[in-house]
Chain A
Amino acid sequence: MKDQHLVSLTVNGAEHEIVVEARRTLADVLRHDLGYTGTHLGCEHGICGACTVLLDDQPVRACLVFGVQADGCQIRTVEGLADESELSDLQQAFSDHHGLQCGFCTPGFLMLAEAYLAESDSTADPGQVRTAMASNLCRCTGYQGIVDAVCAVAKQRGKAGSP
């Protein structure tokens, strides 16, 4: 017998009720049960951060959270960033600063950056941004475009810059 549970969760504002096995990760629930395939799996052991989503506004590795743990939670994924046709300021900045190449780690970095920018004490200081972005791995860009993009958005959103 599989250990099945009824789980209610909200993803990008849409409510879902699904039955999941206890051991099923939130990443698999999002990707394969609910179709939010923008959340990618790069290591499945919590290091690379490609699967980073916001769980009640906090960044989490969706590979380290079980679907049942998200019961009653609000989830935000990369699919929730853009407004219909318009990219968000953060998404646009990633393109402007060439902060992505193959695009596989990109959703995780976007959600990590979104959480960073929402913190009250985050700044546009490149050193602080670089440290925050060191939570995730990218193999293509050398990180510079990612750091530049997040700094640019932090400035646009009125965060303090570096001296």
Chain B
Amino acid sequence: MSGNAREPRLDTTGRWIGAALPRKEDGRMLRGAGRFVADLDRQGTLHACFVRSPFGAATIAGIDASEALRLPGVRQVCTAAELGSAGLCAALERDEFVPTTMPLLAADQVRYAGEPVAVVLADDPYAAEDGAEAVQVDYSPHPAVADLGAARDGRSVHDALAQNTFVDLTMFDDPRLDQIFDTAPLVLDEEFSSARLAALPMEGRGCLAEWDARDDQVVVHISTQVPHQVRSAIAQALRLPERTIRVIAPDVGGGFGLKCVVGREEVVAAALASRFRTPVKWIEDRQENLTASFHGHEQHYAVRAAFGSDGRILGLAADIRCDVGAYSAFPFTCAVEPLMATTELPGAYKVPAYRARGRAIATNKPPTAPYRGVSRPQLVLVMERLMEIAATRLALDPLEVRRRNLISPGEFPYTGVNDITYDEGSYRESLDRAESTARSAGWYTERDRLRAAGTPAGIGFACFSERTAYGTPTMSQRQMAMTPGYDTAQVRMDPTGEVIVTTGTCGHGQGHETTFAQIVAERLGIHPDQVRLRQGDTDLAAYGWGTFASRSIVIGGTSARRAADGVAAQLRRIAAHLLEADDSDVELNEGMARVRGVPGAVLPIAELANTAYFRAHELPQDTPPNLTASGYADPPSTFSNASHAALISVDPGTGAVRIHRYLVVEDCGVVINPLVVDGQVRGGVAQGIAAALYERLLYDADAQPGTASLMDYLAPTATEVCTVDIEHLQTPSQFNESGAKGMGEGGTIGAPATVLNAVNDALADTGSQLNDIPVLPEKVLTALRRERVPVGG
């Protein structure tokens, strides 16, 4: 790597920001001492198994549980009638949005195969499954709406929806567009699509709900990214005060957005634990996870784009339809995909005129959650394919076309046609670096060598920015009934000078216990080993919004930084008082408080802490007798950016795509821990490769799932993913004082476009163009055969 001034480094102001510390989480995970929800056993637990609809669309004439109740170990069978709750309603306060309710259990109608209609409680999970098999449900199936095409055929998923449309938004409707399309030198009309995906955390969903008679509370241990929203959902669905519910996320085995919405199974478990005053445990199995949880990313784009002869984009219009399944998930609603897509499609490019229509279309499939990237993998794919196609049509270098359109140095902060203001990024620099590395590392030579040997090979690029850390100024534009965005933290220093931080964010693999400790230790002048993060417990932490949308380090981390600054100010004041100096002259570093310029005027921070608690009478006047401070943050948002590149080859016999080299040049502002950043990038790229080449949830015309196991749903293994080289740029955010930008999703966002462009480069001679993901071997093979059989004879 070059000696670019923006290379990540130890922040010169301290020791911990930017340090590649090994993770505090690792020890327990490596010993098998992590505590995931399925690991929790309670005396007298009743195990829940849900009876699920085998039909995509049916009415329920009756449910007979008598046989199930005769089985050994089966204790209860409950249906919608016994639960007495309307269910979960996620709403937008927009006229274009039609609110619907997701019942906790289907009462008279099922809307997807896998929808729960009853729950069996038994002494062990085996007996519960026996019971679920024995429950007789009398269904009258009717034709299902299996896809976007069928959604226009007159059948209805919900009576309340016209043309199965949950929401239909037209944004940024520029009146000049029609004239631009009439007169532009190049107008492209292209369609793009992406398959329905499963987020597929290795730990599925699950919960253990137990009644705590001492505290008069139901305590819900749950694998979630959003504990406070789970509490609010349970409170709203069961009409309980939030005080009577405590939600605790133990170790969470991945989420990727699947666990930032609230499932009805978890609300049912809480309801039954409250009613029967006994622990109720539900652990989702993989079949349920694939067929009955939340999906995402099933989108179709019809795009018209105008370009000048120099490759500059002149106008863009998009019609975006998202197949969001049968219900609107709490709290984000099913509008999260079309809203994101319509608002952010222009991305890193200067689009002078823009119009987008975005729709959320109901089908008889499971509802969708905001799976990693949320519409950005698709919209980046659209923009990056448009740049490539325009360059081909105009006989220009596709990277040069991108450069002519990218928001460039000197133009930040840039406010786009979509009313979004972008803080400074390194869009062009990242692209230049990606190209120069690919050239200097011999990618083009390797591509030519492969081609000469008869193997189709290609190089693909993608350049994009990623809006992260959406605060309420941004989230409120969605007009959700509950607006997420801010977060909170509290820092408490104990009498020995060590610290507990609580936050409303809720990490699940991102290493927050380490990175938050680095942030707080930096501000307090102590060691990260002296800082413990407590998260995921609604009785411990103030209300916060959890971990999703690459928000935690920017919003939670800034909250923690501000809280730590509050405690640091208290420490300085105590030190100044004891050392007879001015607060502003006291520095906190390496566990000591020192008066600047006065050798020997020094006290250990632990001694100040001891004084604050045990000798409070020695504190200066008006200083509170402990060391506690709170902080919150609510930034607008901030943009990280990256350029990706891939070198791929295609097996001419099978059509299989092999990735030889993969490069990411990323810029997430100030890096807290480069190990964690690299891990997020690499894991994200693997999920993006999965979306580009392997994964899709299949449904037939009756909306029956065809991918109910990991033998059918092809998550990539180590041999489908290659080494990912990473280069870093560091443009600090101008929108928050930490300078950090979120970076949890960029890998997943950039990889589908990169791989698809590389495949198209490999197929360039065939005249075929692939715009849909996943690019399965049969599609590649069809394209290759077109080359061999000349069209038109």
Contact = CB atoms under 8 A, between A and B. Distances in A.
A152 interface: no
Nearest to B688: A142
Given A43-B710, A45-B286, A139-B200, A134 B717 contact: yes
Residue of A105, A136, A140 contacting most chain B CB atoms (<10 Å)? A140
Contacts of A140: 202, 254, 509, 679, 683
B81 interface: no
Interface in A130-146: 130-131, 133-146
6 contacts: A45-B710, A81-B30, A103-B34, A105-B202, A141-B682, A146-B718
A47 B723 CA distance: 23
Given A102-B509, A130-B719, A137-B202, A45 B30 contact: no
B683 A2 contact: no
A37 B33 CA distance: 8
B147 interface: no
Contacts of B28: 103
Contacts of B30: 78, 81-82, 87, 91, 94-95, 100, 103, 106, 110
A6 to B, nearest CB: 19
Interface in B2-50: 22-23, 25-36, 38-39, 41
A77 B31 CA distance: 10
Given A98-B678, A143-B721, 9 more contacts: A21-B126, A43-B286, A87-B27, A95-B27, A98-B679, A104-B203, A110-B30, A143-B718, A144-B682
B368 to A, nearest CB: 18
Residue of A91, A130, A144 contacting most chain B CB atoms (<10 Å)? A144
Interface string A23-38: 1100000011000111
Nearest to A2: B72
Contacts of A94: 26, 30
Contacts of B203: 40, 42, 102, 104
A36 to B, nearest CB: 7
B719 A31 contact: no
B193 interface: no
A70 interface: no
B575 interface: no
Interface in B754-787: none
A38 B32 contact: yes
Interface in A33-73: 36-45, 47-48, 50
Contacts of B39: 31, 37
B126 A139 contact: no
B22 A145 contact: no
B32 A142 contact: no
Contacts of B254: 101-102, 104, 139-140
B643 interface: no
Interface in A114-158: 130-131, 133-147
Interface string B218-260: 0000000000000000000000000000000001111010000
Contacts of B603: none
A133 B716 CA distance: 12
B711 interface: yes
A103 B510 CA distance: 10
B710 A106 contact: no
Contacts of A31: 38-39
Contacts of B675: 98
B31 A87 contact: yes
B50 to A, nearest CB: 16
Contacts of B676: 98
Interface of A: prevailing SS: loop
A109 B711 CA distance: 19
Contacts of B27: 87, 95
A96 interface: yes
A81 B686 CA distance: 29
Given A139-B201, A140-B509, A142-B685, A100 B717 contact: no
Interface of B: 22-23, 25-36, 38-39, 41, 72, 126, 200-204, 251-254, 256, 285-286, 508-511, 675-676, 678-679, 682-687, 709-711, 715, 717-719, 721, 723-724, 747
A90 B676 CA distance: 20
Contacts of B33: 38, 79
Nearest to A38: B32
B682 A142 contact: yes
A37 B283 CA distance: 14
Nearest to B715: A137
Nearest to B32: A38
What 3 pairs across the A-B complex have the smallest Cβ distances?
A38-B32, A104-B253, A103-B29
B709 A101 contact: no
Contacts of B724: 142, 144
A137 B679 contact: no
A44 B286 contact: yes
Contacts of A136: 717
Nearest to B720: A134
Nearest to B686: A142
Nearest to A36: B32
Contacts of B201: 102, 104, 139
Nearest to A133: B718
Contacts of B686: 139, 141-143
Residue of B31, B38, B200, B286 contacting most chain A CB atoms (<10 Å)? B31
A145 B721 CA distance: 12
A101 B683 contact: yes
A103 B710 contact: no
Nearest to B676: A98
A135 to B, nearest CB: 8
Residue of B29, B34, B724 contacting most chain A CB atoms (<10 Å)? B29
Contacts of B511: 101
Residue of A36, A87, A106 contacting most chain B CB atoms (<10 Å)? A106
B682 A48 contact: no
A77 B33 CA distance: 12
A102 B252 contact: yes
B38 A139 contact: no
A64 B30 CA distance: 23
A81 B27 CA distance: 12
B260 to A, nearest CB: 15
Contact of B286 (A42, A107, A144): A42
Contacts of A48: 202, 286, 710
Nearest to A107: B32
A147 to B, nearest CB: 6
Contacts of A103: 25-26, 28-30, 34, 251, 253, 509
B202 A104 contact: yes
A98 B684 CA distance: 14
B685 to A, nearest CB: 6
A90 to B, nearest CB: 9
A50 B202 contact: yes
Given A102-B252, A139-B202, A95 B26 contact: yes
Contacts of A105: 202, 253
Contacts of A77: 32
A40 B36 contact: yes
Nearest to A141: B683
Contacts of A91: 30-31
Residue of A39, A81, A139, A145 contacting most chain B CB atoms (<10 Å)? A139
A124 B547 CA distance: 37
Contacts of A43: 286, 709-710
A24 B126 contact: yes
Contacts of A130: 718-719
A146 B202 CA distance: 16
A107 B34 CA distance: 10
Given A40-B203, A110-B30, A145 B709 contact: no
A23 B126 CA distance: 9
A126 B25 CA distance: 26
Contacts of B204: 42
Contacts of A144: 682, 721, 723-724
A31 B132 CA distance: 23
Contacts of A102: 201-203, 251-254, 508-509
Contacts of B202: 40, 42, 48, 50, 102, 104-105, 137-140
